[in-house]
Amino acid sequence: MARHGEDKTQKRLSVAKTRFFPRKSDTWTVRSIAGAYKKNESVPLAFVLRDMLNIAASMWEAKFIATSKDVLVNGKLREDYRFSVGLFDIIDFPKIKKKYRMVLDSKGRLSLNALDYAAKPEKLCKVKGKKAAKHGKFIISTNDGLMIEAKDAKIPVGATLKVSLPDHKILEILEMKKGNLAYVCGGTHASAVAKISDFVAGDMLKDEMVFLENEDGKFLTTEKYIFVLGANKPAIDLGSGAEAKEKQ
């Protein structure tokens, strides 16, 4: 017989490396629902609560916290414990006045940095596409599934947008050009912050490459791994927190 619908289960050994947790201690883990992010670029909300923040001791507690309307993601209430959370998203706990930013560690795994709870909620998203709409406007599609209406026709694909939360109003357009700060979101140099120094044009077979430079030296990465952070300093607060340590 033909299969109907998506799988409801997820084995630990098969999850993407963006999740950092013991893979052989149990067989199963929570599976993300289809959403704005790819499964290899995000983690489910229940995983954040139980395995990353240790707020919940079990999956039952993680489900209870989510359905108790105690968690905001990017300023919006999220009750589905399988909701996907990705890079630069903000997880907010209004009752305990704590807020976290999703970032990467040096091994490309998603981790959380603490934010100042009083700070304005803002995030970065990368422009993946652009199409004309009615009345001279444009619809901008981003890496996190947003569809933003804009009047500026000069917003290029590949640029990074600083948006307010939860209304997704464009606050700043950060173009990929020499001298700007960039955040590397993949590859060997994941989580590095560096200045853009040059570009290598791509073609039908090769991606555009970007030369970057920081205190550790110069390196090269593909354009798809680049988020522009700002001109001289990051346009958003990346938060503070230590890298995840190996669990015993």
Q: What pLDDT does 81 receive?
A: 94
Q: What pLDDT does 22 receive?
A: 87
Please list, in sequence order, all residues whose beta carbon lies within 8 angstroms of the beta carbon of residue 83, skipping any fewer than 6 positions away. 32, 33, 35, 44, 45, 66, 73
Measured at the alpha carbon of residue 120, what is the angle toward residues 118 and 122, in degrees to the nearest 5? 140
* pTM, entire model: 0.89
Q: What pLDDT does 98 receive?
A: 95
Q: What pLDDT does 247 receive?
A: 36
Report the CATH number of the 10-115 domain.
3.10.290.10
SS3 52: helix
SS3 61: helix
Measured from the Cβ of residue 48, the count of other Cβ atoms closer than 10 Å reads: 25
Q: What pLDDT does 4 receive?
A: 66
> For tokens 């988020």, what's the residue?
227
Phi then psi dihedrals of residue 14, to 5 deg? -100, -5
Q: Which residues of the chain have pLDDT under 70?
A: 1-5, 242-248
User: Per-residue pLDDT tens for 89-144?
Assistant: 999 999 999 999 999 998 999 999 999 999 899 999 999 999 988 888 889 999 99
Report the CATH number of the 122-174 domain.
2.40.50.740
CB 182 within 8 A of CB 229: yes
Q: What pLDDT does 175 receive?
A: 93
Q: What pLDDT does 244 receive?
A: 38
Same fold, 10-115 and 122-174: no
Q: What pLDDT does 36 receive?
A: 85
Tokens of residue 188, six digits: 């060997």
Q: What pLDDT does 248 receive?
A: 29
How many whole angstroms separate alpha carbon 89 and alpha carbon 53? 15
Q: What pLDDT does 246 receive?
A: 35
Q: Where are the domains of the chain?
A: 10-115, 122-174, 181-230
How many whole angstroms separate alpha carbon 180 and alpha carbon 194? 8
Q: Is 40 exposed, middle or buried (0-12, 13-18, 19+ CB in 10 A)?
A: exposed
User: Alpha carbon of 194 to those of 37, 97, 104: distances in Å?
Assistant: 25, 32, 15
Q: What pLDDT does 202 receive?
A: 81
